[in-house]
Structure 1
């Protein structure tokens, strides 16, 4: 996985994570946009994930940290271009606009997909936390996909 951090004085702090996954783009898309599959790799509480994957559609999930703490997340989809690009907005308390994360999928042959996650945050601390969380998501996704065909 490669990581790039870019301080952008006027626009916040950005990061980009890139990883090659052993699965076709359609399979990666399905894992990211199907509630039961997403819950199995993204540290979500089973049964808590709801997704209306279309521009303007909403999502919600209750996430569980490694120490067992749970916290609810909500947001919406601002861009949906199956199976290549998804822009997800996350509601942040005290922030008028959602925090946006973009994932891009690029097939590299029939069984490999490069996934690129990028996000711009307001502070270096927010960026570092979001980047760590995104890294954990990519780890979980890679492990899930390595398990073979899923529901």
Structure 2
């Protein structure tokens, strides 16, 4: 099996880590920020935040033309520090949260899938992360 391409996206939120952690993991909040483009939405979210727990976030085009479930199983949950999960196809992702001076840096590293160009994937994940930062800073 070929080595997976690893991609990292990063952003800093002007908010303490406790607020960032809550917005990152609360289904009602996830439904508000979990989109890469304004023509999409996230109409449902389930999150069992514990090792062995599962999450499933529905992502759909608002016009109903396309949609998918983004899901995984948690491998590591270190509150306010790290979340690692495995997606159904075996790819892994890790998100690290680092607070300094009341701001929180968020860095997610994930295994790229093979259907889409890695740069396209990075842009999509970065857009979602940027939406998250905008959400957490405005709430």
Indicate the TM-score class for this superposition, using the shorter chain for normalisation: 0.7 to 0.9
Say what the alpha-carbon RMSD is for the aligned residues: 2.2
Match of 2:87 among 83, 87, 90: 90
The alignment of Structure 1 onto Structure 2 pairs a total of residues equal to 133
- In the other structure, the counterpart of 1:76 is 73
Contact 1:89–1:100 under 8 Å retained in 2: yes
Greater relative CO, 1 or 2 (CA 8 Å, sep 6+): 2
Query: Of residues 91, 98, 105 in structure 2, which corresponds to 1:114?
Result: 105
In the alignment, structure 1 residue 38 sits paired with structure 2 residue 30: yes
Q: CA deviation at 1:126?
A: 5.2
* C-alpha distance in structure 2 between counterparts of 1:33 and 1:123, whole Å: 27
Q: Normalization by structure 1: what TM-score?
A: 0.77
What secondary structure is seen at the aligned counterpart in 2 of 1:23? coil
The answer as to whether partners of 1:120 and 1:127 remain within 8 angstroms in 2 is: no
Deviations 1:86-129 (A, max 9, x none): 0122223xxxx2x211110111112x011111112354945334
Q: Which runs of 5+ in 2 are unaligned?
A: 36-40
Contact 1:13 1:124 in 2 (8 A): no
Q: SS of the residue aligned with 1:55?
A: coil
Q: Which residue of 2 aligns with 1:6?
A: none
Question: CA 1:39/1:125 → structure 2, altered by over 3 Å: closer, same or farther?
Answer: same
Shift of 1:45: 2.9
1:22 maps to: 14
**In the alignment, which residue of structure 2 is the partner of 1:58?**
54
> Gaps spanning 5+ residues in structure 1: where?
1-8
1:12 maps to which residue? 4
